[in-house]
Structure 1
Amino acid sequence: MDYSTIVLRTIFIYFIILFVLRFMGKREIGQLSVLDFVVSIMIAELAVISIENIRVPMLNTIVPIVVLSLIQIIFAFISLKSEKLRKLVDGKPSVLINQGKIDEGEMRKQRYNFDDLLTQLRQNKVSKLSDVEFAILEPSGKLSVIEKDKDQPNNRQSRLPLPLILDGKVNEDHLEQIEKTPLWLRQQLRKLGYRDVKKISYCALHDDDTFFIDLKDEK
């Protein structure tokens, strides 16, 4: 066995994968969706094959790795423009605790048990279920936890901080969850001086019924 060849191949493949991951973007490292996970596994398998089997030309490994990275970049670019594709590829968040109440039906749908819930709450440094206002299972599998506001009056319900507008498009599903309509949203925005929804990058409604609005390419 030619150990020097194995060492050189290992070093070369290491730098190739490092370059590819950097080229694909920080999102690939910090937040793995299902597609990210599949691509990562395939790249790892190709790298192992190239290192173990020195009779296989390295080009046979490099070409598939480059193709996979290009596919990932293309999907990422298209998903920036298409919410439907983004949901199809990445999935969408699931609300497991809504206004302090556990949604057992959603937990069963996600095949998520109470041990999983309690474990991830502890990882978020939350010891009591009663302290949780919202718990959202993200597409990456991470649980995002929003604790109850102790200063808020008991008779006032908190609102899940959902984006009502993303990249110039109204999210009707989120409006339905807060029992509002697109017409209501447009009327409220016009009162604030915003007439063109397409110019809004992000819009959300706070618990005090005030809007947070960020315009596209705002300096």
Structure 2
Amino acid sequence: MLIIVVRTLILYLVVIIALRLMGKREIGQLQPFELVVILMISELAAVPSENIGVPLLSGIIPILVLLSASLTLAWISLKSETARDIICGKPSILIDRGKISETELRRNCYNMSDLLEELRLNDIPNIADVEYAILENNGQVSVMPKVQKRPIIPDDLKITPAYEGLPLALIMDGKLKRNNLERSDKDLEWLMRELKKHKLDKIEDVLIASLDSSGKLFIQEKESQNKKKVKPLQTQV
């Protein structure tokens, strides 16, 4: 039993490392050859972990070969546009200037129900509002609404909104994030003063403390058996 556990953990680590080396992508963003590699890696890892009679290297070596092949194809597609078109394919225009392309729908085995579903997922329930719909290589549909149907943006109103930076989590789950505190140009004394304004004496009592680019500090304390649940607090600093 111990041997099976050890073999499984080793294969698990090998698969995790292989997937990390392939890059950060969600399943819906994988290219076809990447999806094939992941499916094959999972099958190759399952056999040695289930059958101790199969040498461990019989699973590890094929995984490394597939990883090498995947990285090689990724490098080739990065360097050559022609190779990229062959390996990954080309996007297909399903709706071109408001007109549905039946040819592209048939070529991609895409029916009208699929198309309408993708439009709804893009917050466009009416197909008449679509100027372009492009089926990307990863299977997702990019939708461009007609000009008169797209949301209004600040440029349309000739206004310039205030800058919105990335909020910084200063405390998470009772732990101080020193790097974020330094990036915010604040110090620990300032943070403790702000906590005391909300009757919090210890960092460990804070669930989350986040500072946005406008200087608003969001604080929520942890729940406890001796305290009632409180609403999140916001202060301008």
* TM > 0.5: yes
Q: How does 1:127-166 map to 2 (within 5 A)?
A: 127-150=125-148
> 1: CA distance between counterparts of 2:9 and 2:93?
44
> 2: CA distance between counterparts of 1:77 and 1:141?
21
- Deviation at residue 133 of structure 1 after TM alignment: 1.1
> 2: CA distance between counterparts of 1:73 and 1:119?
34
1:11 aligns with 2:12: no
The one-letter code sitting in structure 1 at the alignment partner of 2:133 is A
* Offset from partner CA, 1:62-91 (integer Å, 9 cap, x none): 111011111111111111111111111111
- Deviation at residue 21 of structure 1 after TM alignment: 1.0
Misfit runs of 4+, over 3 Å: 27-30
- Deviation at residue 5 of structure 1 after TM alignment: 2.5
When Rg is computed on C-alpha atoms for both structures, the one with the higher figure is 2
1:33 is matched with 31
Q: How does 1:174-185 map to 2 (within 5 A)?
A: none
* Offset from partner CA, 1:103-151 (integer Å, 9 cap, x none): 1111111111001101111122211101111100111111111112218
1:169 is matched with none
Q: Which runs of 5+ in 2 are unaligned?
A: 151-237
* Offset from partner CA, 1:23-80 (integer Å, 9 cap, x none): 1222475621111111111101001111111111111111110111111111111111
2:114 is matched with 116
1:63 is matched with 61
> 2: CA distance between counterparts of 1:76 and 1:143?
22
Q: 2:89–2:137: 8 Å Cα contact kept in structure 1?
A: yes
User: How large is the RMSD of aligned CA atoms in angstroms?
Assistant: 1.8
> 1: CA distance between counterparts of 2:77 and 2:9?
34
The one-letter code sitting in structure 1 at the alignment partner of 2:13 is F
- Deviation at residue 8 of structure 1 after TM alignment: 2.1
Q: Which runs of 5+ in 1 are unaligned?
A: 153-219
> 2: CA distance between counterparts of 1:39 and 1:6?
25
> 2: CA distance between counterparts of 1:150 and 1:69?
47
1:107 is matched with 105
The one-letter code sitting in structure 2 at the alignment partner of 1:136 is I
